[in-house]
Amino acid sequence: MHPRNAHRHGYDFDRLIDTTPALKAFLIKTPAGKTSIDFSNANAVKCLNQALLKCHYKIDYWDISEEFLCPPVPGRADYIHAIADLLKQDNQSRIVNNVKALDVGTGANLIYPILGERIYKWTFTASDINPKAVKNAESICSKNNLSTEIILQKDANKYFDGIIEKTKRYHFTMCNPPFHNSEQSANKATRTKWQKLGKKPSSNLNFGGHSPELWCEGGEVSFIKKMIRESKLFNEQCAWFTSLVSNKDSLRPIKLALKKANAVEVKVIKMAQGQKTSRFIAWSFLTNSKRLDMYK
């Protein structure tokens, strides 16, 4: 994990239970004799997240219903730290202050604005197409005195239009796009996860997440390509556009789309969580000198 990630040494369950006693009921012993939780138990995972967010980020209230994605906090924190390094490279190796960020598809969990605000004191705008997700995110925001502005995206085919106003400038945008290209593909992947855990699938099949979070026509490649095309219309208003890319094989068509869009700079930043490698792609239509002006 990133060297600044608070979770790089694993979970301190004694410390977590001190802040969230309810977590104790979900503790188990692994075959290796280590303390953990059953990650196939949605209630256990949510309680772990609540404990992590309260212990490390002073989030006293965080809750989502079972239909929404329950994000892995350590991995999401890595994305935030890696973006901080991306901005730092632009800013003569100095951590950037007064950052303004846009989280596209924030979901009900509001995880990136929470982490970005609590770790770096960044200012976030967050959007989502689901009114129920927006309402839940607003509840998390208000109950923790977060400054994030949450906006309902009324056009499901848009990413920035209707969100980025003409007078607004952002240092970066971020997104965790739906990976699968169909509901059938998403369900198949979930069955495989349950089988690897040696469990029978739960009634709602997936580990949390409703359709727009899990799949879209064309999968992540199509989603990010559309984002690239629209980002050109806001090329002067944002230093960096970024998106997670789940499948490394998706990078080739995405890079080709960025070349066709005449992106000035493209970077693929790898992140590692244990044996798992993840990545995000970042692109900019501005030269380094123009981006540097945005940090002043």
Of 243, 208, 247, nearest to 109 by C-alpha is 208
Mean pLDDT of the chain: 89
pTM for the model: 0.90
pLDDT at 160 over 80: yes
C-beta neighbour count of 234 within 10 angstroms: 21
Q: What is the pLDDT of residue 182?
A: 43
| Average pLDDT score over residue span 171-185 | 75
Q: What is the pLDDT of residue 218?
A: 75
Q: Is 24 helix (H, G, I), strand (E, B) or coil?
A: helix
Q: What is the pLDDT of residue 194?
A: 44
Give the pLDDT band (50/70/90) at residue 210: very low
Q: What is the pLDDT of residue 186?
A: 46
Q: What are 24-82's pLDDT values in tens digits?
A: 999 999 999 999 999 889 999 999 999 999 999 999 999 999 889 899 999 999 999 99
Q: What is the pLDDT of residue 69?
A: 86
Residues of the chain with pLDDT > 90, as a percent, come to 77
Of 103, 177, 94, 107, nearest to 136 by C-alpha is 107
In the chain, where are the structural domains located? 64-294
Q: What is the pLDDT of residue 211?
A: 55
Tokens of 4: 């600044």
Q: What are 184-194's pLDDT values in tens digits?
A: 554 554 544 54
Q: What is the pLDDT of residue 108?
A: 96
Name the CATH architecture for the domain at 64-294: 3-Layer(aba) Sandwich (3.40)
pLDDT at 204 over 70: no
Identify the top-confidence range among 4-13, 193-202, 208-217: 4-13
Beta strands in 34-148 (DSSP E): 35-37, 100-104, 123-128
pLDDT at 135 over 50: yes
Q: What is the pLDDT of residue 201?
A: 53
Of 14, 34, 12, nearest to 24 by C-alpha is 14
Give the pLDDT band (50/70/90) at residue 89: very high
Q: What is the pLDDT of residue 181?
A: 53
Q: What is the pLDDT of residue 213?
A: 58
Q: What is the pLDDT of residue 231?
A: 98
Q: What is the pLDDT of residue 111?
A: 98
Contact, 246 vs 278, CB < 8 A? yes
| Average pLDDT score over residue span 238-245 | 97
d(CA 183, CA 74): 27
What are the distances in angstroms from CA 218 to CA 76, 208, 225, 226? Answer: 24, 21, 10, 11
C-beta neighbour count of 274 within 10 angstroms: 9
